[in-house]
Amino acid sequence: MDLGTIVFYRNYGVFTDTLTHMKVQEKALNTPDELFQEHYGYHRQALFHVLYQSPNMWGFVAKPINKRDGSIEYKVVNSDGNIKTVKDSDIYFALKMDDYNYTHWCEMKDEKEVAKSVGKKLITKKPTSSCIKKAKRGKMVFGLGANRLFQMATLENGSPNYPSSNPFNYDWKDYDPYYPNKEAFAGYGGYYNKDMKNYRPQDPQAQYPNWNNLWKPQKTTLHAIPFLRDNISPTTFSVVRQIKAAENDMRMFINFRKGIPITL
């Protein structure tokens, strides 16, 4: 699974209780949005947002681990921010974010490591909404010297605006953004210069960024968006792994124009 995928692997009882509260059966989770809304009276995406806001069930995929016996495990960043190792066989449901909003990013020390204070705290700042809108997202990276999942972001014109009214910005006002050189985009194994499949433009009409063309001398800044539940706000979701009971259900919901044959 791609980095950043939201995998549900624990507290299955809480998961099913949430569906029961929302009066939804597991087999309906992969129903098209329009048919789901027609049958249940509310949008399927609303249910996904409820699941995302529910703690202690899921984590962001941060790193795949291929075992010698052929099995797969993943390092995941839990909804509480802790890192856990999860067996692929323990994952009972998974969502990908079609796009997301965020409020904070971390400054970079260099191309390979996030900046830290003397006390080893991450230099986290809140840019203005206009900076976030202009920033281009790139590769998903786990680590960067912080044991965290990040998505790289560049601001082409540099000099990001950090309102001093925000406590993060005030506390870290003496820390400047990092200005990479061109080799950071073209080098490091193609680290920043590819059209990343995990990149999701905020503007649906936008094109994937050409990382070589983004770099401008002493103007382009590099940042890292931390994947934490209090920072990442998904817009819409897509199902990438169904509940096993739903996988075995071969009924074609699309054929039932007068409502999906699901008993509430």
Q: Specify the range with the lowest mean pLDDT, choosing from 23-27, 63-67, 180-184, 207-211.
A: 207-211
The pLDDT of residue 110 is above 50: yes
Q: Which of 46-50, 87-91, 109-113 has the lowest mean pLDDT?
A: 109-113
What integer best gives the mean pLDDT of the chain? Answer: 83
Rounded CA gap, 210 and 208, in Å? 7
pLDDT tens track for 53-70: 987 899 999 999 999 998
Percentage of the chain modeled with pLDDT above 90: 55
Averaged over 69-75, what is the pLDDT?
Answer: 93
pLDDT score of 139: 86
Which residue type is seen at 21? H
Strands 6-8 and 58-66, bridge-based pairing: antiparallel
Average pLDDT, stretch 182-191? Answer: 54
Helix locations, 89-225, DSSP H:
129-134, 167-171, 183-186, 211-214
> Tokens in use for 182?
């061109």
Alpha helix positions (H), the chain? 12-21, 33-40, 44-53, 129-134, 167-171, 183-186, 211-214, 244-247
Report yes or no: 222 and 154 within 8 Å, Cβ to Cβ: yes
Confidence band for 263, pLDDT divided at 50, 70 and 90: very low
* pLDDT surpasses 80 at 141: yes
Cβ-based neighbours of 256, under 8 Å, separated by 6 or more: none
Which of 26-35, 99-108, 229-238 is least confident?
26-35
pLDDT at 202: 43
pLDDT value of residue 245: 61
pLDDT at residue 192 is higher than 60: no
